Amino acid sequence: MSKFKKKKGSDLPAINTASLPDIVFMLLFFFMVATVMRDSTLMVVNKLPAADQIQKLDKKDRVMYIYAGKPSSRYEDKYGSTARIQLNDKFATVSEVGAFILSERASKRQELQNVLTTSLKVDSDTKMGLIQDVKQELRKVGALKINYTTRIGEYTQNLK
């Protein structure tokens, strides 16, 4: 204490930090509101292709996600390197897609059940055969609104 008291004569006053918590809280609330928690950990390589004629996806609660791609390096020894589908937190086969969609749909609110979109997050290097099978499954359960989720960019990036 006495150390500080000596300086009393100097003309530089201490900066008042009383408003610091307020500023930090303001930032905190911003990020709390803007945050969307990532709900499933990715187990597949997921480098999305680029497109520029895109539309924004609906609100989060109206979207069901289907991931596909090669298993990421952590899972490669266990699952091999052929492209696979990921539903929620585990790998799945094509035949499980239908059941997944139905259970997802049942878990949504009544008024949203008819406006759901299926977002296909597929790695660029996947073959169309797998996607074709998924699409066929989606048609069987009547989930006709789909979105090929992409990142924003020129289509020429896909051709390299």
Partner 1 sequence: MAKRSAPEVNAGSMADIAFLLLIFFLVTTTIETDSGLNRKLPPMEDQVDPPIIRQKNIFTVLVSKNDQLLVEEELADIKDLRSLAIEFLDNGGGVGDEVCDYCQGKRDESSSDNPDKAIISLKNDRETSYKVYIAVQNELVAAYNDLRNREFIRLNPNLGINYVEAQKKYDDPRTSLDKQDELKPKLNVVKLMYPQKLSEAESSKSS
Residues that bind partner 1 (CB under 8 A): 17, 20-21, 24-25, 27-28, 31-32, 34-38, 49-57, 63, 117, 119, 121-129, 131-132, 135-136, 138-140, 142-150, 152, 155-156, 158-159
| 3-state SS, residue 90 | strand
Angstrom distances, CA of residue 28 to CA of 18, 19, 23, 119: 17, 14, 9, 30
Joined together, the tokens standing for residue 13 give 């006053």
Give the residue with the Cβ less far from partner 1, 103 or 136.
136
Q: How far is the CB of 150 from partner 1 (least distance, A)?
A: 5
Looking at this protein, which amino acid is placed at residue 84? R
| β-strand pairing of 63-69 with 117-122 | parallel
Q: How far is the CB of 11 from partner 1 (least distance, A)?
A: 26
Give the residue with the Cβ less far from partner 1, 11 or 128.
128
